[in-house]
Structure 1
Amino acid sequence: MTATTLDIGPTSWVIRPRLAICSGIGVGAILILMLVGLSVGFTTPIDTARILLGGGRVAENIVVFDDLMPRMLIGAFAGFSLALAGSLTQIITRNPLATPDLLGITSGASVGVVLAITSTSTGFGTVFATLGVPVSALVGGLSTAVAMYLLAWSRGQVVTSTLRLILIGVGMTWTMQSVVGFLMSRADIHDSSTAQRWIVGSLSGTGWSLVAPVAAATVFGLIWAAIIARSLTVSGLGPDIARGLGVRLGVVTYGTLIVAVVMASLAVSAAGPIAFVGLVAPQVALRLARTAQPTPVFSGIVGACMVLLADIVCRGILPGGLPVGVVTSAVGGPFLIFLIVQTARRSSV
């Protein structure tokens, strides 16, 4: 399917039929998965549809709208945000391994959240407890990203060496995880168990209060992706070509990195650092849509489907109580090995 151009007033839009079809199917899959997720362990999807349309009893409305609906919305928004953030970092670095997971961003956000959770018992991070979980995650993610980029930065380069960036990011990830381990060891049993369930990446215990931050992150990412869609596509071709075509590479690179950090941090604040969504979803979207580089919006759609499906598997198939991060890690680990092997083969050609 060849791309077509749609002119609307002074603007011109490129329509890719395959990408549009895949996106439409993906949105439909999100709705179906949310309906099934609202039904798992409670009732049938048909009864759930009846409740959603206003035909439910009081007890049914409480279960669907107060308990399950926030869980599904957070799963969809968090998966979308993590995948969109992953696609943005992969595009600006032109490397499929450069994701918030591997660059230490989600681990840095985790430090901020664990400080906010455990500060009452450990004496650490009282400022973070005052700021709250979403802001603490933002502070942790942004601080880690700044430290990582400063360590990887080279004079005269807008985009640092991708290999150096990834290696430093991996080092930052393990450093932040050691900080999390230290904080967990100093916390009391109640705070430690709360933080441990969250660290793995879980949708249990979520409520309506956590929906707004991660929904705002999704909207923020969509707006940025729409604003710099052309520049982002061109920057993915390399810095020299992008400069030759008039792209302000510094604005695109640094702005995109900040947006990715904000999205990943707020997603982590709501659902924990759900592993490998930012890595797997953009690469799956790339292969389904057959585009030259990951498409941010479609990557987000795939990420939302991935998290929702993982939650359904955890609650409906696997032993009860398992968090969604267990399923995404089981899928993402082998996929990471596949990407490393594929990248190594391409570089050796």
Structure 2
Amino acid sequence: MTATVRPPITIGVGSARWVVRRRLAACSLAGALLALVLFLIGLSVGFTTPVDVARILLGGGRVAENIVIFDDMLPRVLVAALAGFGLGLAGCLTQVITRNPLAVPDMLGITTGASAGAVLALTSASTGFGGFFANLGVPLSALIGGLATAALMYVLAWTKGQVVTSTLRLILIGVGMTWMMQAAVGYLMSRADLHDAASAQTWIIGSLANTGWSSVPPVAVAAAIGIIWTAIIARTLAVSGLGPDVARALGVRLGVVTYGTLLTAVVVASLAVSAAGPIAFVGLAAPQIAVRLARSSQPTPVFSGVVGACIVLAADIVCRTVLPDGLPVGVVTAAVGGPFLVFMIVQAARKSSV
């Protein structure tokens, strides 16, 4: 007796068509519901219950409750959700294009380059670099840093006649760029005054402590850019993940898809970093968790983003309930992400030895 395989669902808008796999859709819905629950719990920690938070958000709160939720807690939790979504989505895009689970913004130096740009904006007034980057602000400075690092990395890794460079070369150069950008960050920190250095140090680890409504627009724009690009190239991106030869044979314009996707990943990751700092390992872990839950052949960007949002929201809740007060959220993600990276490397080594 053989089990019947239910066909995927096809959704069409005009001439455009999207194929929706049932298990992926169910996992995405479950992930979105989990993110919503974590969102409400994050708003309620140390103040009230998730049910009361829902009442306040729907307009039934008193003046004091509205001040706490809307002015204090809501920006922090929104940044956590959107930054996690952006980092997870950006990590998925780079993993699919390079066909390597280690090729994520953390490993390629993109988040560190964005961090260098952001730290330059945070400390430029006290490091002798003038107020140019301070006037640009942290989001634009982080974006410039991420784009400059990614461009230099790709130029160094590029081979004539290839649209997608050697993945191993790209990762190794990205690791080198990461250390170079970390050296630049260390130099800026050593030149900054004590107040600016302390502020930048907390942010570098990945912190949501000082986020306000001004931090929400960059990550909201990042999430919107990622979703729009993913919707535009969903089918061609899936084919590109099968390799350049297969993609060309199926008529995919590989250059447009590759460069556009990498540019989107850099922009999304840089803007996410500008709001919450380089929260470690979210871009690495979220797509791999998503691909295992959905049982798909490769990670899918939006579901990876949803998983990333859940990771950061859960880490923020742990920081504010279990761990000592004031501990940055990046400490939790790094503590979990390090063993996850070791697990992935060991698993890949076992597969290659079979």
Q: What secondary structure sits across from 1:6 in the alignment? A: strand
Residues 1:330 and 1:38: Cα distance change in structure 2 (over 3 Å): same
Write out aligned runs for 1:232-247 (5 A). 232-247=237-252
Q: 1:99 aligns with which of 104, 108, 132?
A: 104
Which residue does 1:332 correspond to in 2?
337
Q: 2:321 aligns with which of 309, 316, 325?
A: 316
Q: 2:287 aligns with which of 269, 282, 292?
A: 282
Residues 1:3 and 1:318: Cα distance change in structure 2 (over 3 Å): farther
CA contact (8 A) 1:116 1:125 kept: no
1:6 aligns with 2:10: yes
| Structure 2 unmatched ranges of 5 or more | none
CA contact (8 A) 2:11 2:20 kept: no
Aligned partner letter, 1:246: G
Between the aligned partners of 1:201 and 1:257, the Cα distance in structure 2 is 23
Aligned-pair CA distance for 1:346: 3.0
Q: What secondary structure sits across from 1:294 in the alignment? A: coil
Between the aligned partners of 1:125 and 1:327, the Cα distance in structure 2 is 35
Which residue does 1:168 correspond to in 2?
173
Q: 2:80 aligns with which of 75, 83, 88?
A: 75
Aligned partner letter, 2:8: T
After TM superposition, the score normalised by the length of structure 2 is 0.96
Aligned-pair CA distance for 1:98: 0.3
CA contact (8 A) 1:200 1:272 kept: yes
Between the aligned partners of 2:231 and 2:11, the Cα distance in structure 1 is 16
| Structure 1 unmatched ranges of 5 or more | none
Write out aligned runs for 1:1-349 (5 A). 2-6=6-10, 8=12, 9-124=14-129, 126-349=131-354
Aligned-pair CA distance for 1:5: 3.8
After TM superposition, the score normalised by the length of structure 1 is 0.98
CA contact (8 A) 2:9 2:22 kept: no
Residues 1:286 and 1:191: Cα distance change in structure 2 (over 3 Å): same
Cα deviations by residue, 1:233-262 (Å, 9 ceiling, x for unpaired): 000000000000000111111110000000
Between the aligned partners of 2:147 and 2:176, the Cα distance in structure 1 is 16
Q: What secondary structure sits across from 1:332 in the alignment? A: helix
Aligned partner letter, 1:289: A
Aligned-pair CA distance for 1:151: 0.6
Worse-superposed segment, 122-131 or 254-263:
122-131
Between the aligned partners of 1:106 and 1:320, the Cα distance in structure 2 is 26
Q: What secondary structure sits across from 1:215 in the alignment? A: helix
Between the aligned partners of 1:265 and 1:305, the Cα distance in structure 2 is 20
Between the aligned partners of 1:78 and 1:51, the Cα distance in structure 2 is 24
Aligned-pair CA distance for 1:13: 2.5
CA contact (8 A) 1:90 1:96 kept: yes
CA contact (8 A) 1:2 1:16 kept: no
Aligned-pair CA distance for 1:51: 1.5
Residues 1:318 and 1:3: Cα distance change in structure 2 (over 3 Å): farther
Worse-superposed segment, 266-275 or 49-58:
49-58
Between the aligned partners of 2:268 and 2:176, the Cα distance in structure 1 is 22
Aligned-pair CA distance for 1:7: 5.2
Aligned-pair CA distance for 1:148: 0.4
CA contact (8 A) 2:94 2:265 kept: yes
Between the aligned partners of 1:84 and 1:283, the Cα distance in structure 2 is 11
Between the aligned partners of 2:17 and 2:57, the Cα distance in structure 1 is 39
Between the aligned partners of 2:181 and 2:280, the Cα distance in structure 1 is 15
Aligned partner letter, 2:144: V
% same residue = 72
Between the aligned partners of 2:17 and 2:110, the Cα distance in structure 1 is 35
Residues 1:7 and 1:86: Cα distance change in structure 2 (over 3 Å): closer
Between the aligned partners of 2:279 and 2:223, the Cα distance in structure 1 is 16
Cα deviations by residue, 1:9-47 (Å, 9 ceiling, x for unpaired): 534331211111111011111111110000101112222
Residues 1:219 and 1:7: Cα distance change in structure 2 (over 3 Å): closer
Q: What secondary structure sits across from 1:14 in the alignment? A: strand
Between the aligned partners of 2:238 and 2:353, the Cα distance in structure 1 is 26
Aligned-pair CA distance for 1:324: 0.6
Cα deviations by residue, 1:130-171 (Å, 9 ceiling, x for unpaired): 211100000000000001001101111110000000011011
CA contact (8 A) 1:83 1:282 kept: yes
Q: What secondary structure sits across from 1:110 in the alignment? A: helix
Between the aligned partners of 1:280 and 1:3, the Cα distance in structure 2 is 29
Residues 1:37 and 1:345: Cα distance change in structure 2 (over 3 Å): same
